[in-house]
């Protein structure tokens, strides 16, 4: 086997500086020599080989589903945090995050009650599509179903905010949903597109 630098490296187009660096590296490799032989006790395993059975696709589907759900919930929290942390001039006492599709986020900033007991709120939503013949409505949930409507809104871009107030307190842990309400014979109150986390 040849040890000449030119036999190993195409020197055409190299600057003198590049060639000098590569030649120094070539000489160092020649000085170091080939790697040492693997010792015999490492080349044969001390224990018999073990077969590790990997989970089948059916077992992994459940795990993949859990990972996907966890990712959507985490993205909802992060998205809700960023969407909800735009101040909008409201002294906030609570922020409620919502999750929906992978690109849909919402947050509800709940303000302190005013002098007569109205509770100001700011709902910020991003990622919902514009509905041609409908709108979105925020509801509180009672007995697992939408009950009190809080506010309605339309999406005209990717992100929007609605300022409103309600005459009742929003207790901690109150479940909320955003429903897509279609006009023209669709069953009230529509289909759920987001729910509070």
Q: Could you read off the pLDDT of 15-43 as tens digits, one per residue?
A: 888 888 888 888 877 777 777 776 766 66
User: pTM (2 decimals)?
Assistant: 0.54
| Per-residue pLDDT at 187 exceeds 60 | yes
Q: Which residue has the higher pLDDT, 186 or 134?
A: 134
- Is residue 165 in some structural domain? yes
Q: 22 and 94: one domain?
A: no
CATH number for 178:
2.60.40
Q: 18 and 98: one domain?
A: no
Q: 104 and 184: one domain?
A: yes
Domain that holds residue 3: 1-29
- Is residue 53 in some structural domain? no
Q: 190 and 94: one domain?
A: yes
**What's the confidence (pLDDT) of residue 10?**
81
Q: 94 and 167: one domain?
A: yes
- At 126, is the secondary structure helix, strand, or coil? strand
- Is residue 64 in some structural domain? no
Count of domains for the chain: 2
- Cβ contact 83:126 at 8 Å: yes
Q: 12 and 106: one domain?
A: no
Q: Which residue has the higher pLDDT, 93 or 123?
A: 123
Q: How many CA atoms lie within 13 A of 141 on its CB side?
A: 16
Per-residue three-class SS string for 4-68: CHHHHCCCCCCCHHHHHHHHHHHHHHHHHCCCCCCCHHHHCCCCCCCCCCCCCHHHHHHHHHHHH
Q: 19 and 101: one domain?
A: no
Span 140-184, pLDDT tens digits: 998 888 988 899 999 988 898 999 998 888 887 789 999 999 877
Span 100-146, pLDDT tens digits: 877 888 999 988 888 898 999 999 999 999 888 889 999 999 888 89
Q: Write out the two tokens for 124.
A: 């910020």
Q: 97 and 190: one domain?
A: yes
- Is residue 19 in some structural domain? yes
| Per-residue pLDDT at 55 exceeds 80 | no
- Is residue 104 in some structural domain? yes
**What are the Cα distances from residue 150, in Å, to 30, 65, 76, 109, 192?**
79, 33, 21, 13, 15
Q: 96 and 22: one domain?
A: no
């Amino acid at each position: 086997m040849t040890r000449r630098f030119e036999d190993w490296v195409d020197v055409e187009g190299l600057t003198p500086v590049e060639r000098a660096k590569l030649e120094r590296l070539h000489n160092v490799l020649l000085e170091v020599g080939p790697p040492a032989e693997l010792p015999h006790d490492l080349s044969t395993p001390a224990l018999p080989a073990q077969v590790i059975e990997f989970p089948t696709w059916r077992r992994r589907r459940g795990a993949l589903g859990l990972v996907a759900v966890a990712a959507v919930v985490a993205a909802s929290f992060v998205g809700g945090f960023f969407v909800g942390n735009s101040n909008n001039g409201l002294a906030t006492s609570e922020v409620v995050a919502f999750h929906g599709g992978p690109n849909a986020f919402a947050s509800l900033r709940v303000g302190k009650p005013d002098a007569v007991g109205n509770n100001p709120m700011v709902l910020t939503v991003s990622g919902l599509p514009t509905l041609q013949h409908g709108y979105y409505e925020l509801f509180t949930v009672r007995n697992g179903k939408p009950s009190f409507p809080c506010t309605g809104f339309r999406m005209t871009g990717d992100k929007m905010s609605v300022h409103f107030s309600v005459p009742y307190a929003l207790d901690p842990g109150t479940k909320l949903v955003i429903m897509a309400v279609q006009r023209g014979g669709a069953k009230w109150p529509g289909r759920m597109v987001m729910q509070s986390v």
